[in-house]
Amino acid sequence: MSEYSPGVPETIEEEIERANASGRTPVVFIHGLWLLPSSWDRWAVVFAEAGYTPLTPGWPDDPETVAEANAHPEVFANKTVGQVADHYAAVIGKLDKKPAVIGHSFGGLLAQMVAGMGLSAATVAIDAAPFRGVLPLPISALKSSAPVLGNPANRHRAVPLTYDQFRFAFANAVSEEEAKELYDAYAVPAPGAPLFQAAAANLNPWTEAKVDTENPDRGPLLVVSGEKDHTVPRAIAEASFKRQQRNPGTTEFVEIAGRGHALTIDNGWREVADTALTFIRRFVG
């Protein structure tokens, strides 16, 4: 098993076996809240065609399909940032080669956490959720997280987004028609815990939502920001970038014009994928 086959479900163990058998550099994709690993399927094809071996391992207990996820939302509950970061660190630890890591939203935070552990050869954090030390709290970010943070009981629940909530948080920069298509194709419930952890990160010295930005083994990092992102506005992305600039490794920032939080899955996904690929190619063959 050495070739990536888009649309063919694999267990994490099968993905690892395929990556190690290929001899190619792995690229690990980490999704964020309200999405599944399948949100990376088109990206995986691009990176496979570019000579890498893509892996799209989910968070613990992720269902395979959107329909299954919406039918059984309870499987998402009580997943914490630290638990999920440890899960991805364990996956990466079984790879023969140090991978490049690409994450979106909370996946972008997790990608930076993994990089801070010295486990990534190059990292791309796209509209990444904030970590301890990132201070801006724009109003649009608060509104985007309100469906979860508005009820303390949601910390231990899986919380779906209504279409209107998804439209504001993810799909504000696309047409109404596309927003509805994205919602039907991709949106699933998400654990509330990570949002509460991120919201309280600067109040809790022991928070799991923290990144070792100064580890010299972090490797090159690209921070990507969508110009019109409501969930992770530029102020948050820039603050994360400035914290990461303390690292001796290459740290770069790029803003994708006219794009919202759905930039990895909407009609302009290829521009973002090519931006990530161009960066990774500079450092990882």
- Sorting pLDDT into bands at 50, 70 and 90, what band is 129? very high
The mean per-residue pLDDT over the stretch 153-174 comes to 97
- Tokens of residue 175, six digits: 């047409």
Is the pLDDT at 109 greater than 60? The verdict is: yes
Which pTM was predicted? Answer: 0.97
| Of 18, 162, 165, 185, nearest in space to 96 by CA | 18
Q: What percent of the chain has pLDDT over 70?
A: 99
Residue 8 pLDDT: 74
Residue 1 pLDDT: 42
**How confident is the model over 170-205, as pLDDT tens digits?**
999 999 999 999 999 999 999 999 999 999 999 999
| Of 149, 166, 146, 165, nearest in space to 157 by CA | 149
Alpha-carbon span 32 to 59, nearest angstrom: 9
The mean per-residue pLDDT over the stretch 81-106 comes to 98
Is the pLDDT at 285 greater than 90? The verdict is: no
**How confident is the model over 34-67, as pLDDT tens digits?**
999 999 999 999 999 999 999 999 999 999 999 9
Out of 97-106, 133-142, 274-283, which region has the weakest mean confidence (pLDDT)? 133-142
Residue 6 pLDDT: 74
Is the pLDDT at 28 greater than 70? The verdict is: yes
- Tokens of residue 234, six digits: 């530029």
pLDDT, mean over the chain: 96
The mean per-residue pLDDT over the stretch 22-27 comes to 96
Q: Which residues pair with 26 in a beta bridge?
A: 53
User: Do residues 114 and 85 touch, judged by C-beta distance below 8 A?
Assistant: yes
The mean per-residue pLDDT over the stretch 12-37 comes to 96
The mean per-residue pLDDT over the stretch 98-115 comes to 98
Alpha-carbon span 201 to 177, nearest angstrom: 36
The mean per-residue pLDDT over the stretch 210-230 comes to 98
In whole angstroms, how far apart are CA 7 and each of 37, 60, 105, 214, 238? 11, 20, 23, 38, 35
**81-93 vs 106-116: helix axis angle to the nearest 10?**
60
- Sorting pLDDT into bands at 50, 70 and 90, what band is 221? very high
- Sorting pLDDT into bands at 50, 70 and 90, what band is 131? very high
- Sorting pLDDT into bands at 50, 70 and 90, what band is 3? confident
Q: What phi and psi values does residue 152 have, to the nearest 5 degrees?
A: -55, -30
Alpha-carbon span 28 to 13, nearest angstrom: 13
12-283 fold: Rossmann fold (3.40.50)
